Amino acid sequence: MQQKKPLVVVTRKLPDAIETRMMELFDVTLNLNDTVQSKAELIEAVQSADILVPTVTDRIDASVLAQAGPNLRLIANYGTGVDHIDLASARQRGITVTNTPDVLTEDTADMTMALILAVPRRLAEGERVLRTGKWVGWSPTWMLGHRIYGKRLGIIGMGRIGQALARRARGFGLSIHYHKRNRLHSDIETELEATYWDSLDQMLARVDIVSVNCPHTPATSHHLSARRLKLLQPHAYIDNTSRVEVIDENALTRMLRNGEIGGAGLDVFEHEPAVNPKLLELDNVVLLPHLGSATVEGRIDMGEKVLINMKTFVDGHKPPDRVLVDTF
């Protein structure tokens, strides 16, 4: 007698190749319209599923997990960050949580480096002027930005992405500084020519560019508070391709509007997909619609990770990407 396939509920549209493979292996409910699931729909999903495949747009909090059916044993997250999942509630209910680490490192580092280049050189602002027909020709003093060569880059969270960014930034002549809860091995520091700062406050006051590359955890929520943002030098730039919760967005917006810092490159926002209208008015900000990991290759690699975690779990083994602790 053929064994019944586990029921998998997928909350968003995934690459076709991944969905096809899932359909071959499991009994799958897909979201072909790619609509963001409401809380009621998420509760319905956890009540019926053996495996849930959510994304960053799904808030799997304690109240949702409280309604989980007895068959839900695995949440195979499509993405690296898991701050949208109540890990403590999942553990209490015996639900394993997995994610998709490593596969997005290079893509996110590329995008972060792009923002580091774009903001000081006013690329987005110049492109807007050109498209609106306001460019009147070259001038020796018009649309001047700042070079990044020789500047100090402060990386917050020197994990895989932070280290990949450091390697890129060194090629552009930036000196590397970083803050992390646990200091890197001296061999890695030597390779990256990176200076460690135990005090985030002291690092912020001394660097020219800040890149946020740490995950959102209780320890990093508003890590860049209004007080800490005030420590930045007036010419400093800040880029965030990680999680919006790490920065006090309102405080950052006020400082940008008041010219208290040089500019910002933001790929994440507090109320996505809505963006603070005050940010939209600013020329010293480059705004991207959460594109940090948005490559065809990256999305497929994420799906492959999800499939491996699911198949390993169903076969009775520990998935390779179980989420155990929160670190940055």
Catalytic residue of the set 243, 245, 249, 299: 243
Active-site annotation holder among 24, 127, 193, 272: 272
Say whether 243 is catalytic: yes
SS (H, E, C) the chain: CCCCCCEEEECCCCCHHHHHHHHHHCEEECCCCCCCCCHHHHHHHHHHCCEEECCCCCCECHHHHCCCCCCCCEEECCCCCCCCECHHHHHHCCCEEECCCCCCHHHHHHHHHHHHHHCCCCHHHHHHHHHCCCCCCCCCCCCCCCCCCCCEEEEECCCHHHHHHHHHHHHCCCEEEEECCCCCCHHHHHHHCEEECCCHHHHHCCCCEEEECCCCCCCCCCCECHHHHCCCCCCCEEEECCCHHHECHHHHHHHHHCCCCCEEEECCCCCCCCCCHHHHCCCCEEECCCCCCCCHHHHHHHHHHHHHHHHHHHCCCCCCCECCCCCC
Tell me, yes or no, if 128 is annotated catalytic: no
| Active-site position among 152, 222, 290, 322 | 290
Residue 272 is among the residues annotated as catalytic for this protein: yes
Q: Which residues are catalytic?
A: 243, 272, 290
